[in-house]
Amino acid sequence: MRLHTLPLGLALVLTSGVAAAPHVSNNADVVVPNDNRLHAGRLVNGVLTVRLQARTAIWRPEGSKGPIITTAAFAVEGERLQIPGPLLRVPAGTEIRATVHNSLLQPMWLYGMGNKRGMADSVAIPAGEDREISFRASEPGAYYYAARTVSKSVVNRGPHDSQLGGLIIVDSAGVRPDARERFFAITMWGSQDPTVESGINANSLFAFNGQSWPRSERFELTQGDSAHWRFVNISSFDHPLHLHGFYFRVNAKGDGVRDTLYTAAEQRMAVTEYVAPFQTVALSWSPDRSGNWIFHCHFAGHIAASGAFDADRTILKPHASGLHGTNEHRMRGLVLQMSVKPRGSVTMAGNAARPIRLIVRSKTKVYGANIGYSYALGGTPDEQDTTMKVPGPVLELARGERVAINIVNRTHENAAIHWHGIELESYSDGVAGVSGEGRRILPMIPPGDSLTVAFTPPRAGTFMYHSHSNEFQQLASGLYGAIIVREPGATKDPNERLIMISDDGPILSFKNPKDFPRALVNGRLLPDTMDVAGGVTARLRLINIRAEFPSDVSLLDGDKPVQWRIVAKDGMTATPLQSSARAAAMLIAPGEIYDLEVVVPPGAVRTFRVALPDAPPHLFPPTLLTVRGR
């Protein structure tokens, strides 16, 4: 089963929330965020006994200053409610005997507690009643339980039901669990607000373990440590999870029914991993550089600052929402911060660096009435071009050659640039208020100002740069470009081509998915024909930097996918298993990068198709690029 969110899904989720009757709570229960370090219940002689209860309470995912949300959640009976719900963690083979009490005013359907696991099991619990559930946790892995009341589907749950769920972690029998391993539930709360243009209630937000940035958990690591993180996505949305500065290894992936632990040959390295609703993923990574770093969802709306959805996008004036008037990055939602202490002395690279001047501009009435942005290289004719053309210039870098990039902000608001996928020093990483260490923290670049950052790319491959400020608007409206790092002395391969997928302007409203921006390919809705040498291997460097949407991409002969090979993912050389020839059709999420090899015979014509997943083509026309073998 493939589950996506999608624009359509979003509309559905928010709509299903409107009809939800508010549950009235008799007590002043306040939810406790659950960091999933302590498990619930009593384990005796291979049986875990636990009593759970669903109630309604107040949730403050951003602490005492943020939104006050009333929602249903789970508790250990008689204790305070938790988001996510109490952790059930047992060795494989354990029998779990749960008594679940439904203290809500509606009947509840509970999923994931049963021998079949995931959506395959459900139990109905009438309002005010108990059910006893017994099942065996037979297979090691990460799973979930999740419930719905007024929502028709547990996958597309409305706001009131959206926090009804928790993690089930099954450890291998006889193996001492790794105490360093951490577990994260991803949840979302959101509802409609028909009085604002975006249609989204300004309190809508996403959370890791019940907390939204800047309240989400902070991690202290030391250079050379390793972190082992499992994510269980019990939100109705997909999330491309992105790590700054380092690669992570993907160790396991699951769907709630089965958790597949990868063999050494199946493990893969990435900086962005796409997690569909009710999927699970196990990642590990090791910081070999010190400083502050973030791990976040690459959907701009899932880390959007308060006020971002309904900002005025027509006037070149910083508005009053607080989006721009700060030296910090006012993200919110799915962001974790890690601070890595140096081990021993820190050696910084020298100052000799190739200078690059990168200018950031903005202009009104580029996307209809709305502002457009673009990058231009200083000293090139593009600097005089005021059409705000996209993508930005390709930055051609050499492995091991230090570059010093002077970022010149000629826009009307703060600027910050992230060098996505590059293993660099923290300060240069581009997250204002976070990147850097000690007292040397990267600031925002205010309008009219400039800042120089330097880094030495250690790896040849395809990467990108993009805005890390007001992303919900700036990513969809022009601030992105490719980085190609080559081996020292290597010249451009005549058979390589760049395919960059982006947005044709900002998302103004979620009310009508038909109004969503379409996908641009290399800055065009109707891209020029791309000629490649016939009969020889061409390398396609494919990047998705849409703000909010994954893309189904395929290379078609007529309507049938041809074969291609994935030779790199996120700039890292692919494993032998990844790079075997396969049908040329896959999903690429925002923040993902693939290098693909394909052969187009002489005289043959292929179509590179970029479509919104699971969306009817007559409402969401795909963007088509003709590729011709010469």
C-alpha torsion angle, residues 260, 261, 267, 270 (rounded to 10): 70
CB closest to Cu ion, residue no = 297
Candidates 43-51, 128-136, 292-300, 421-429 — which segment interacts with Cu ion by CB under 5 A?
Answer: 292-300
* Integer Cα distance of 313 and 331 in angstroms: 18
Shortest distance, position 275 Cβ to Cu ion, whole Å: 8
In whole angstroms, the minimum distance from the beta carbon of 608 to Cu ion comes to: 26
Nearer to Cu ion, 302 or 332 (CB): 302
**Could you say whether residue 299 binds Cu ion (CB under 5 A)?**
yes
Give the separation between CA 271 and CA 240, rounded to whole angstroms: 10
Q: Which is nearer to Cu ion, 238 or 413 (CB)?
A: 238
231 binds Cu ion (CB under 5 A): no
Rule CB under 5 A: is residue 239 a binding residue for Cu ion? yes
x/- track of binding to Cu ion for residues 454-493 (CB under 5 A): ----------------------------------------
Cβ proximity to Cu ion: between 287 and 333 the closer is 333
DSSP structural state of residue 27: S
Query: Using CB under 5 A, which residues numbered 76 to 95 contact Cu ion?
Result: none
295 lies in the binding site for Cu ion (CB under 5 A): no
Is residue 274 a contact residue for Cu ion (CB under 5 A)?
A: no
Segment interacting with Cu ion, rule: CB under 5 A, options 127-135, 232-240, 580-588, 621-629: 232-240
Q: Is 332 in the site for Cu ion (CB under 5 A)?
A: no
- Output the six-digit token pair for 502: 């982006």
Q: Rounded to the nearest whole angstrom, what is the least distance from the CB of residue 255 to Cu ion in the complex? A: 18
Name which position in 89, 296, 302, 569 contacts Cu ion (CB under 5 A): 302
Q: Hey, what amino acid is at 228?
A: H
The distance of closest approach from Cβ of residue 297 to Cu ion in the complex, given in angstroms and rounded to an integer, is: 3
Question: For the purposes of burial, counting CB atoms within 10 Å of the CB of 299, is it exposed (0-12), middle (13-18) or buried (19 or more)?
Answer: buried
- Cβ neighbors of 606 (< 8 A, separation 6 or more) are 555, 556, 557, 562, 600, 626, 627, 628, 629
DSSP 523: T
CA-wise closest residue to 370 among 196, 515, 522: 515
Taking alpha carbons only, the member of 121, 149, 123 closest to residue 137 is: 121
Is 297 among the residues that bind Cu ion (CB under 5 A)? Answer: yes
Residue pair 504/524 in contact by the 8 Å Cβ criterion: no
DSSP element (H, E) containing 73: strand 69-76
Residue with Cβ nearer Cu ion (301 or 318): 301
> Segment contacting Cu ion (CB under 5 A): 77-85, 238-246, 255-263, 473-481?
238-246
- Is 118 in contact with 111 (CB distance < 8 Å)? yes
Strands 496-503 and 537-544: parallel
Q: Which residue's CB is nearer to Cu ion, number 454 or number 589? A: 589
Cα(148)–Cα(158) distance, rounded to whole angstroms? 9
Q: Segment near Cu ion (CB under 5 A), from 297-305, 341-349, 543-551, 601-609?
A: 297-305
Q: Which stretch binds Cu ion (CB under 5 A): 106-114, 247-255, 294-302, 370-378?
A: 294-302
Q: Site size for Cu ion, by CB under 5 A? A: 4
Measure Cα distances from 422 to 156, 243, 583 in Å: 36, 11, 29
Considering beta carbons, is residue 96 or 297 the nearer one to Cu ion?
297
The residues of the shown chain that bind Cu ion, judged by CB under 5 A, are 239, 297, 299, 302
